[in-house]
Amino acid sequence: METNNSTQTKLQIFILSGQSNMAGRGGVTKDKHWDGVVPQECNPDPSTILRLNSDLRWEAARDPLHADIDSKKACGVGPGMSFANAVKDRVVGVVGLVPCAVGGTAIKEWARGKQLYEDMVRRAKEAAKEGEIKAVLWYQGESDTLTRDDAESYKANMERLVCDLRGDLHSPSLPIIQVAIASGEKYMETVREAQKSIDLPNMVCVDAKGLALGHDNLHLTTESQVQLGIIQWLPFLLRSPLFTLVVFRFALVRNVSKPIQTVTMLPINCPSNSLIRLPFSFSAYF
């Protein structure tokens, strides 16, 4: 693997995996072309945010992050860059993103032994030579909403995936940030409930439902992808005693066109929790 001088600093690595909404379809038009619009929150920062490309080389990260990974489809803005820009000042070292998502894939295609899973593990291990894997960001499930059997087996398949991945990466406590899907077919709610009910250590589920969808009523818009990346960043703040202060300050200084709404952080099996405020709504399940 070739690296540049930036990787002399230990990388703080985040695996981005799942299907199309993780790969990013923000700004992809009806004729399957990306509009090229990059929000400020997704601006590249070559000195602090890198990505592992399809040739296993580190390079400056920029949208579309998955262009050479989910290469058979048009990619646009995903949650990765807004996440990286939010987290970069709160980790020691350079942020290293490892895109692995492929659109239109079901959870069974990510089972150990399948090509997608093995590619993800291979890329993660290669990335780990330059630093520490901090978390896996996972957004997948829409393809499992078509049939009852797929939807009802989702929880067991996802739990198996997490256990296998942690084992193969020799990281039994590897943090997993899963997104509960915002769109899908007939059995969407079955998959969503499965995602929210998974109770594994060091695994959190953030809910994308309510974020704006694009023209196809399936993929998140660019603005929604920006918001999702920030939502996925928030669990890291829970480790900090400054969590409430940081979040309130963020809400106050960020320029938004919509009124600030109340956000509920809802731990699983917990009747209530503190409210924080952000310029959009979401739920997180811990």
**pLDDT value for 276:** 33
Q: Which residue would you say has higher pLDDT here, 229 or 284?
A: 229
Res 231: pLDDT: 87
Q: Which residue has the tokens 């399940």?
A: 285
Q: How far is CA 269 from the centre of its chain?
A: 24
pLDDT in tens, 186-206: 999 999 999 999 999 989 899
Q: In DSSP terms, which residues pair with 204 in a beta bridge? A: 177
In the chain, where the domains are located? 5-240
What is the pLDDT at residue 234? 79
**Residue 282: both structure tokens together:** 């979401």
| Confidence (pTM) | 0.84
Q: What integer is the mean pLDDT of 178-187? A: 97
pLDDT at 118 over 60: yes
pLDDT digits (tens, 9 = 90+) for 17-26: 999 999 999 9
User: What local confidence, expressed as pLDDT, does residue 250 receive?
Assistant: 33
Interval 134-148 mean pLDDT: 98
pLDDT, tens digit (0-9, with 9 covering 90-100), for 216-270 = 999 999 999 999 999 888 776 565 433 333 333 333 333 333 333 333 333 333 3
- pLDDT band for position 4 (cuts 50, 70, 90): very low
User: Going by CATH, does the domain composed of 5-240 fall within 3.40.50.1110?
Assistant: yes
77-95 CB burial, b ≥16 within 10 A, e <16: bbbbbbbbbbbbeebebbb
272 pLDDT above the threshold of 50 = no
Secondary structure element (H or E) that encloses residue 12, with its range = strand 11-18
Are the CB atoms for 279 and 247 separated by under 8 Å?
A: no
Mean pLDDT of the residues in the chain: 84
pLDDT digits (tens, 9 = 90+) for 43-89: 999 999 999 999 999 999 999 999 999 999 999 999 999 999 999 98
Which carries the bigger pLDDT value, residue 223 or residue 274?
Answer: 223
- pLDDT confidence of residue 79: 98
Own/partner long-range contacts of 277-282 (Cβ < 8 Å, ≥24 apart): 277/247, 277/248, 277/251, 278/230, 278/247, 278/250, 278/251, 279/251, 279/254, 280/211, 280/227, 280/256, 281/210, 282/206, 282/207, 282/208, 282/210, 282/211, 282/227, 282/231
Q: What is the DSSP letter of 245?
A: H
What amino acid positions are annotated as catalytic residues?
20, 216, 219
Indicate if the pLDDT at residue 14 is higher than 80: yes
Would you state the pLDDT for residue 238? 60
**Residue 171, SS3 per DSSP:** coil
pLDDT of residue 275: 31
- Please enumerate in sequence order all residues whose Cβ is within 8 A of that of 84, keeping only pairs 6 or more positions apart, or say none: 14, 49, 61, 95, 97, 229
